[in-house]
Structure 1
Amino acid sequence: MENKLEHRLLFSERLSLLIKCNGLSNAEVARAIKVSPGLITKYTSAKASPSYENFIQLADYFCVSMDFLRGKYYSISEYPMDSDNMDYWIELIDLIKLNRVEEKRVFEYLRLKINNLK
């Protein structure tokens, strides 16, 4: 069984990434889900875990699955390759700082998935 700190760290990383990718501040996210900015800071610094209600609100706000947010899956949604999410994926890949080989693999995968959607 994984420990609570590991889950908290995964959640913290995912939430921080979503906030950064969407160009938001902790205060903006806090306002959107009606909590204090300090609580969002605690989440992003892995000093606190969200309540179940806040966890759901964050997943809904960012339009991601709860499994993605908790670090169980790497896919943002069940259908991460739809055209509406492509810009999001590109920004996400830029933030992850992949090396050239990894980046090439990811973009090749995306290209194949896009072609399958057509």
Structure 2
Amino acid sequence: MKNTFPVLFSDRLQTLRNLHQLSLSKFSRNINVSKSMIFNFENQVTLPSVEVLIKISNYFCCSMDYLIGRSDNPSWMDYLPQAENKFFNHLDTTPDFIKMYQDEKIIEPISLAPVSLRKIEFMRDNHIQPQA
């Protein structure tokens, strides 16, 4: 039986990255993994370590089972509430960041919520103030 993990992982990573309109550079910066590593994953040259697989699944709020092809359900709705809870209860999350996230969640498709959340967390963690 042929191992389909590299193909499924490659396809799903590209699909998620494209759905969220993330360039290789931007995505690699967001998860702190080299651009060449992401390129190699998407071109089935190498496979991710468990550590990197966790980073990717956390970033997109999807299950690792989905990424590796054990499930066809990304389950992001199962993971998004946990990620939102951490965001809302973080000491540095101000009402401005919460409002920015809630506003984006209203106007964007719900499937884009994980990346909106990560973008705003990045702004918060790097002390970039939301624009009014």
TM range (shorter): 0.5 to 0.7
Superposition RMSD on alpha carbons, in Å?
2.3
| 1:38-49 pair list within 5 angstroms | 38-49=36-47
Higher relative contact order (CA 8 A, sep 6+): 1
Aligned length: 84
Q: Structure 1 pair 35/56, CA: closer, same or farther in 2 (3 Å)?
A: same
Q: Which residue of 1 aligns with 2:62?
A: 64
Residue aligned with 2:29, SS = helix
The Cα offsets for residues 30-70 of structure 1, whole Å up to 9 and x where unpaired, read as 11111110110001111110011000000000110001111
TM-score if structure 1 supplies the norm length?
Answer: 0.63
Q: Which residue of 2 aligns with 1:52?
A: 50
Q: Which runs of 5+ in 2 are unaligned?
A: 81-104, 112-132
Does the Cα contact within 8 Å between 1:7 and 1:70 map onto a contact in 2? Answer: yes
Measure the CA separation in 2 of the matches of 1:25 and 1:56.
Answer: 20
Name segments (4+ residues, structure 1) moved above 4 Å. none
Tell whether 2:24 aligns with 1:20.
no
Measure the CA separation in 1 of the matches of 2:110 and 2:41.
Answer: 22
Does the Cα contact within 8 Å between 2:60 and 2:76 map onto a contact in 1? Answer: no
Following TM superposition, by how much is the alpha carbon of 1:87 offset from its aligned partner in structure 2, in angstroms?
2.6
Sequence identity (%): 33
Q: Which runs of 5+ in 1 are unaligned?
A: 90-118
For 1:60, give the aligned amino acid: N
